[in-house]
């Protein structure tokens, strides 16, 4: 009998993060799923998977909250760390039009804070495991077509910080993955998005687990195809 694997999904209250938690529960993993506040979605999941789902609390922009979560988990071994949390503000604005705080909030939530979580928790991830952060296709500078440009800039910054983390850990055996899930109908993606959550998240989980234990930093889509930086 093999031991159940463990994943920590950060930002799992709704949308893609909740679906990731559900997907790994269905795969019989031990799932630690975080929200900032009460999550009806996670409560519903807990009713179905009370033995294997643990609900935790963290606000990733609050460093004390991140460190408190690390202390509560007390060095738990993780097979996969998946930082999903993210925001989008001022999507259609240009730099001249944008409210500065909206831009700073995105840089803090989408770039700096996910990488603080990675730095705080990476020691607990197994050598044959994976550290994944939710990026976006539109974080690719090479493929930029001007859509949601301020949000895209925050995901490009995230990609850079993950690259820098990788450069600081040249012998790291874990997969370091920047995941592009596709344009998905969630509160953030909106109703005009191309895909349902169910078109994306099972493929994302398959792709992350196929990559586990394969060292190096990669920016990839849900199929595992490499995207240009
Ligand atoms: N949907 C898409 O088309 C798409 C495409 C590419 C990439 N992405 C990325 O995928 C991720 C999930 O997006 P989504 O579409 O599922 O968005 P969503 O429905 O708006 O959900 C965002 C999630 O992030 C959490 N979150 C936001 N700020 C947080 C913070 N400071 N600390 C902890 N959790 C926080 C939210 O928690 P609360 O409930 O507490 O707000 C929520 O669980 C994001 O990183 C997004 O940028 C989405």
- Average pLDDT (169-182) is 97
Q: Output the pTM of the full model.
A: 0.98
**Average confidence (pLDDT) over 22-38:** 98
Q: What are the pLDDT digits (tens) for 156-172?
A: 999 999 999 999 999 99
- Taking residues 49-71, what's their average pLDDT? 98
- Number of domains present in the structure of the chain: 1
Asked if the model's pLDDT at residue 127 lies above 70, the reply is: yes
Phi/psi of residue 225, nearest 5 degrees: -75, 135
Of 159, 43, 158, nearest to 106 by C-alpha is: 158
Which domain covers residue 42, as residue numbers?
6-221
pLDDT band at 91 (very low <50, low <70, confident <90, very high): confident
Instruction: Supply the pLDDT for residue 23.
Output: 98
Using the atom order of ligand 1, give the atom closest to the CA of residue 19. 16
Check pLDDT > 60 for residue 1. Answer: no
The helix (run of H) or strand (run of E) holding residue 55 is strand 53-57
- Within a domain: 46: yes
205 is a domain residue: yes
Indicate whether residue 36 lines ligand 1 (CB < 6 A): yes
pLDDT score for 29 = 98
CB-side neighbour CA atoms (13 Å) of 75? 0
Classify residue 77: in a domain, yes or no: yes
Closest residue CA from atom 40 of ligand 1:
36
Q: Report if residue 227 sits inside a domain.
A: no
Exposure b/e, 46-66, CB count within 10 A at least 16 = b: beebeebbbbbebbbbeeeeb
Half-sphere exposure of 11 (CA within 13 A, CB side): 20
Answer for the pair 211, 223: CB distance below 8 angstroms, yes or no: no
Compute the distance from residue 158 Cα to the ligand 1 centre, in Å.
14
Percent of the chain with pLDDT over 90: 97
Does residue 19 sit within a domain? yes
Cα–Cα separations (whole angstroms), residue 159 to 90, 112, 114, 164 = 20, 11, 11, 9
**34 exposed, middle or buried (CB, 10 Å; 0-12, 13-18, 19+)?**
buried
Q: How many CA atoms lie within 13 A of 174 on its CB side?
A: 25
In a domain, 129, yes or no: yes
Q: φ and ψ at 16, to 5 degrees?
A: -65, -35
Q: Reply yes or no on whether the pLDDT at 52 is more than 90.
A: yes
CATH number for position 27: 3.40.50.720
Residue 229 lies in a domain: no
* Residue 1 covered by a domain: no
Ordered alpha helix ranges (H), the chain: 15-26, 40-48, 63-73, 100-106, 113-121, 149-168, 197-211
pLDDT at 2 over 80: no
**Which atom of ligand 1 sits closest to the CA of residue 86?**
45
pLDDT for 118 equals: 98
């Amino acid at each position: 009998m093999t031991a159940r694997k463990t994943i920590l999904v950060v930002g799992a209250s709704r949308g893609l993060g909740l679906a990731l938690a559900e997907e790994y529960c269905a795969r019989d993993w031990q799932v630690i799923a975080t929200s900032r506040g009460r999550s009806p979605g996670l409560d519903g999941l807990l009713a179905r998977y009370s033995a294997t789902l643990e609900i935790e609390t963290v606000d990733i922009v609050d460093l004390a909250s991140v460190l408190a979560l690390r202390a509560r988990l007390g060095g738990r071994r993780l097979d996969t760390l998946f930082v999903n949390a993210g925001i989008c503000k001022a999507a259609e604005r240009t730099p001249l039009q944008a409210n500065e705080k909206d831009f700073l909030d995105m840089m803090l939530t989408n770039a700096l804070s996910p990488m603080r979580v990675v730095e705080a928790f990476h020691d607990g991830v197994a050598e044959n495991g994976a550290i994944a952060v939710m990026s976006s296709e539109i974080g690719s500078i090479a493929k930029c077509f001007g859509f949601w440009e301020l949000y895209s800039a925050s995901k490009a910054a995230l990609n850079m910080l993950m690259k820098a983390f990788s450069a600081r850990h040249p012998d790291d055996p874990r997969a370091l993955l920047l995941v592009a899930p596709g344009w998905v109908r969630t509160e953030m993606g909106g109703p005009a998005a191309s895909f349902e959550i169910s078109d994306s998240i099972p493929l994302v989980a398959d792709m992350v687990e196929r990559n586990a234990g394969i060292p190096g930093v990669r920016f990839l889509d849900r199929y595992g195809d490499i995207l240009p930086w």
